Chain A
């Protein structure tokens, strides 16, 4: 597979938007069953070459969006809110009357926010060792979304470079106020403090079930990720960072331990013995605090709070890596490899190989059909299937709701 070159984008994007982008399910998703002009009032923004940025784009139908994408071939697509008026007419609306009305609840988890606790990479770099952090984040947040917040329809997406996004699409949630969204982020936050704060997680007794569930998730990955992968107790400078988080009177002696795993065992045992301490001192949760500080998800509240925030669309191409923002299959989360995600280059090459009878660009009644099946010939297919399952999930829920309501009313 040839590597991705950003300079090739102008050639590749037209192919992408004609033959690979899943316009069908994408349009069905954002139409939400044809609710009251929902699609027409949605803001999209396009980034073109040379960082030209077009906001407040809106379209009368998914078909029109498809045509425009194929005409403009944007480098990047962002999705915004559903507004009170068509975004592309916002200048004709009296100031103050043009307001965002609804939007999915979104989360953006970015690997850069973990730089203080990963030793393998920093800033925009990621590797298979630190990617586990994203796996942990998805598991913790998803569990909370479903079990605690009662959410059903959520789409987790690889951002294309160094993180993941989540789109929560339940009808009720799309109507949430900024205050409620901010509250949800706060509920899901445990790691607090910036560069100045050494100890970022502080637990008190009794520990809320959300925290307990989260620790349970972290525990499944901790040994492999933190003790072996990151080797957080592997050298004096590394374990100093960990010990800085633990109260002094609990520090164990380390003579006998030879590696991170053993050292952690000692530490762990020591701390667990304090759980039974009398009320005055209270149980010490320092081991949980360490695990959480190294592994618990870090959310950006600004992304989630505002209704008018724009977030990169699923199936958008990342202009720097060429990777497509593909949905994550939660059933296979542990096997997800960000480096195996197809790039626009590799996908176009796959198309070339698949069409041994040559590609015809002229129009014809059969063309659209052939085109919409094209992605199925490529490694994009499984990701589109995950996306289709997500959209179908919402559609069947809507059907179920309609039936339920008509039953209540006694309709036929």
Chain B
């Protein structure tokens, strides 16, 4: 029997000694996992890690990295999602395995564009930094040896020879301290920041770094390795994407939103049309408030706006009948006559409620989808204002909503840092007068639900105007039976319009 090291490891695992495969809770993810897993596990691992990385992103902006608050929040998330959180935990095998596999799956999803790569790299770096700094000194040294980073610790003789140089080049290190601490010989490229500022002794193209500074070096090394690996993965992606089981999953992950999709309306019929104006000011996120305002002002919205806003309204509980009435009333005040509305626009509204064509019940757009796809052009009002509006105009808008200047500055800072959802969270905090939004914003309907919860003292959405709502529903249902017959009429122009509409309804 041939015993290659990999076979040996497998053998060891079968034999029950699983610790050999993952001797440390931390790793550099140099070797991809070599085993079979089910598609279910594949997806659940990936989704969990994505959740973790998003938490890390949020924490990184709301708290200073390395503070106790940051650390405790991150640790609790790691435990919740069953990732390794403590270096010495004995029974960590499952968590470490999950960590290993999920990292590599996300590489596949996040290597595909410059933006995705940058995001993934940033969050993985923060995760690594946290876990590395949680190690004790001795564990750190063990890890460094194991990781085979070619950072050699220099021997005592060499250290004594260089003692003077080391103490004059390394800030905070007098001769005594030099004798006490370990020094590592590291390539110049790994110690760029220390080398450029002359904060380290260099000789023959190597920097002699004290143990105290090694974490920065390790991190830089990790970043370089991961960055290269991502570029390499991107190049081999076509062959992976040809696997039909994986392709939709991977595409979905990188645009994914990992929360409730608001497709099953728990609040159907609880909102009346009269409430919408008030709600748009109190509880709509800025994107929807903007769309609503534009609709009221111009009595029209283009396709992108109709989709984004229409599905949102569906998500907050508007029934099909209410939606038809809402849009028709508005459009009629514009240039559209009732007939044209019934023939064209009504069809597409019913389509988005799953009552026509493919009969897919379309889900309201998540923030990720709004930010990343279908950017608005001139005459459009959809999109994410934090992403798509000119910062000056955004500022003016916030001023018109009486947001205090300090708040506006904070929002604009987040926008500048490309943290659009966090900017929206800050907007929530400012308009609801709370310090901490208390949740991680990923979806406009989530914004609405949470806002309503807050304003109604945590209770469920109030059931108002039930009677009139029912009455309206009855009316609308009659209307809809009438209008449902129109698409079948052989009107050539209507047919082509409908054909064109079908093309819009591709789910991604």
Q: Which of B50-58, B164-172, B378-386, B476-484 is found at the contact surface with chain A?
A: B164-172
Contact call B192/A149, Cβ cutoff below 8 A? no
Query: What string of 1s and 0s marks CB contacts (under 8 Å) between A266-294 and chain B?
Result: 00000000000000000000000000000
B309 to chain A, nearest CB (A): 36
Cβ A179 vs Cβ B202 within 8 A = no
Contact indicator A180/B189 (Cβ below 8 Å): yes
A208 touches B195 (CB 8 A): no
Chain A: CB-nearest residue to B204: A150
B202 touches A206 (CB 8 A): no
Report Cα–Cα, A183/B197, bound state, in Å. 8
Given contacts A149-B188, A209-B165, A209-B168, contact A187 B196 (CB under 8 A): yes
A172 to B202, CA, bound (A): 17
Q: B163-204 interface mask toward A, CB cutoff 8 Å, 1 = contact, 0 = none?
A: 001011100000000000000000011001101111001111
Please indicate the chain A residues that have their CB under 8 angstroms from the CB of B195 in the complex.
183, 187
Q: Which of A161-201 contact B (CB under 8 A)?
A: 172, 176-177, 179-180, 182-184, 186-187
What residues of B have a CB within 8 angstroms of the CB of A151 in the complex? 205
Q: Does A2 contact B (CB under 8 A)?
A: no
A186–B205 touching, CB < 8 Å: no
Whole-angstrom distance from the CB of B181 to the nearest CB of chain A?
17
Evaluate contact between A180 and B202: CB separation under 8 angstroms.
Answer: no
CB-based nearest A residue for B207: A148
Chain A: CB-nearest residue to B194? A183
Write the chain B residue with the least CB distance to A205: B168
Task: Please indicate the chain B residues that have their CB under 8 angstroms from the CB of A177 in the complex.
Answer: 189
Cβ of A180 to closest chain B Cβ, rounded Å: 6
- Report Cα–Cα, A176/B205, bound state, in Å: 12
Query: Which of chain B's residues has its CB closest to A146's CB?
Result: B204
Smallest Cβ-Cβ distance to B206: which chain A residue:
A150
Q: What CA separation (Å) do A186 and B192 show in the bound complex?
A: 11
Q: Is the CB of B169 within 8 A of A209?
A: yes
How many residues of chain A are within 8 Å of chain B by beta carbon? 22
Interface membership of A221, Cβ < 8 A = no
Known contacts A182-B196, A183-B196, A186-B196; is-contact A149 B168 (Cβ 8 Å): no
Closest to A183 in B: B196
In the complex, the chain A residue whose C-beta lies closest to that of B205 is A150
Q: Assess whether B204 is in contact with A147, with CB atoms less than 8 Å apart.
A: yes
The SS class assigned to the B binding surface is: helix
CA distance A177 to B187 in the complex (A): 14
Q: Report B-chain residues with C-beta under 8 Å of the C-beta of A35.
A: none
Q: Is the interface of A mostly helix, strand, loop or mixed?
A: helix
Chain B residues near A180: list those with CB within 8 A.
188-189, 192
Contact of A206 with B201 at beta-carbon distance under 8 Å, contacts A179-B192, A180-B192, A183-B192 already known: no
Among the listed B168, B188, B192, B204, which residue makes an inter-chain contact with A208, where contact means beta carbons less than 8 Å apart? B168
Contacts of B188 in A (CB 8 A): 149, 180, 183
Is A207 located at the chain interface by the 8 A CB criterion?
A: yes
B169 touches A208 (CB 8 A): yes
Interface members, chain B 220-244 (any A CB < 8 Å): none
Asked if A186 meets B203 with Cβ closer than 8 Å, knowing A180-B192, A206-B167, A209-B169, the reply is no
Interface residue A210 (Cβ < 8 Å from any Cβ of B): yes
Smallest beta-carbon distance B364→chain A, Å: 36
A187 near B189: Cβ-Cβ < 8 Å: no
In the assembled complex, which residues on chain B have CB atoms less than 8 Å from the CB atom of A207? 168
Q: Report chain B residues within 8 Å CB of A186.
A: 196-197
A84 smallest CB distance to B (angstroms): 14
Least CB distance from B133 to A in Å reads 24
List residues of chain B with CB within 8 A of the CB of A148: 202-204
Chain B residue with minimal CB distance to A185? Answer: B196
- B204: chain A residues at CB < 8 Å are 147-148, 150
A201-224 near B? 1/0 per residue, CB < 8 Å: 000001111111000000000000
User: In angstroms, how far is the closest chain A Cβ from the Cβ of B350?
Assistant: 45
B205 in contact with A149 (CB, 8 Å): yes
Question: Min CB distance, A110 to chain B, in Å?
Answer: 22
* Most chain B CB within a 10 A radius of its CB, from A151, A180, A183, A184: A183
CB distance A209 to B205 under 8 Å? no
* Chain B residues, Cβ within 8 Å of A182: 196
CB-based nearest B residue for A149: B205
Would A210 and B198 be within 8 Å (CB), given that A179-B192, A180-B189, A180-B192 are in contact? yes
Most chain B CB within 10 A, of A172, A184, A187, A211, is at A187
**Distance (Å) between the CB of B27 and the closest chain A CB?**
26
| 8 A Cβ contacts from A227-264 to B | none
Ordered by A's residue number, 6 sampled pairs between the chains whose C-beta atoms are within 8 Å are A148-B203, A172-B205, A182-B196, A187-B198, A187-B202, A208-B168
What residues of chain A have their CB less than 8 Å away from a CB belonging to chain B?
Answer: 147-151, 172, 176-177, 179-180, 182-184, 186-187, 206-212
Extra pairs beyond A183-B196, A187-B198, A206-B167 (10, CB < 8 Å): A147-B204, A148-B202, A148-B203, A149-B202, A177-B189, A183-B192, A183-B193, A183-B195, A209-B168, A209-B201
Closest 8 CB pairs of A and B: A150-B205, A183-B196, A150-B204, A206-B168, A186-B196, A208-B198, A183-B192, A148-B202
